[in-house]
Amino acid sequence: MACRTLIADDHEIVRRGLRALLSSAGVDVVGEAGTGREAVELARELKPDVVVMDISMPDLNGLEATRQILSELPGTEVLILTMHQSEQLVRQVLDNGARGYMLKSDAGRELVLAVEALRHHQPFLTTKVSEMVLDGYLRRAGAQRTQAEPGGPDRLTRREREVLQLLAEGNSNKEVAAKLTISVKTAETHRSRIMAKLHLGSVSGLVRYAVRNGIVEA
């Protein structure tokens, strides 16, 4: 039985290329999503074996979408496919439960192998990514690792992380409320709590924080 795969990327031309590559190898591409929120909704509906997920997407970034998909669908695996080469980002991805990470520059050679590995619940990191992760662990060897960065994203609730991204993308409190189907007052409360938890004093500071932590693109 072919591996049932969902593709999530905000660029249609990228989705087409990934679909063609996977389909030519016999992988069953069951759906495509252009935003992180759409990826979560389609995953719930289609229950794919593997989700190929970009990190930088509107409405809901790939990290948060991954977190939500894996919390609801423990049988599904996520392969992060991105142009971002960052050891910190890889650690965030693994912490969120994804077991595959690949640079887009490696997709032509290794995407099908990665999808097949994840289908059988085996982790997959390309050579470049494995070396990057290993170097990071070696640098921290012997040092006590903190449980979470003070003021880091882990201090926020799921809803607060969603509000944070929407605010950083330039949405007003009213627009945030409409997108999340909550009241404007609730959106304002979330914003105040986010600012307090992250020790931020302005919206510009919130945007810089979101960019620095890979929640939105610069």
What does the pLDDT look like over 51-83, one tens digit per residue? 999 998 999 999 999 999 999 999 999 999 988
CB 78 within 8 A of CB 97: yes
In the chain, CATH 3.40.50.2300 sits at 4-139
pTM of the model: 0.73
CATH ID of 4-139, from 2.60.120.580, 3.40.50.2300, 3.40.640.10, 1.25.40.10: 3.40.50.2300
In the chain, which segments carry CATH 1.10.10.10?
Answer: 153-212
pLDDT tens-digit series, residues 126-148 = 877 877 777 766 665 545 444 44
Within the chain, what is the greatest distance between any pair of CA atoms?
A: 54
Fold of the domain built from segment(s) 153-212: Arc Repressor Mutant, subunit A (1.10.10)
DSSP code of 200? Answer: -
Question: Is the Cα torsion angle 136, 139, 140, 142 positive or negative in sign?
Answer: positive
Indicate the SS3 state at residue 210: helix
Dump pLDDT digits (tens) for 93-124.
888 899 999 999 899 999 999 999 999 999 99
- Whether residue 186 contacts residue 179, with contact meaning beta carbons closer than 8 Å, is answered with no
Residues 6/42, Cβ–Cβ less than 8 Å: yes
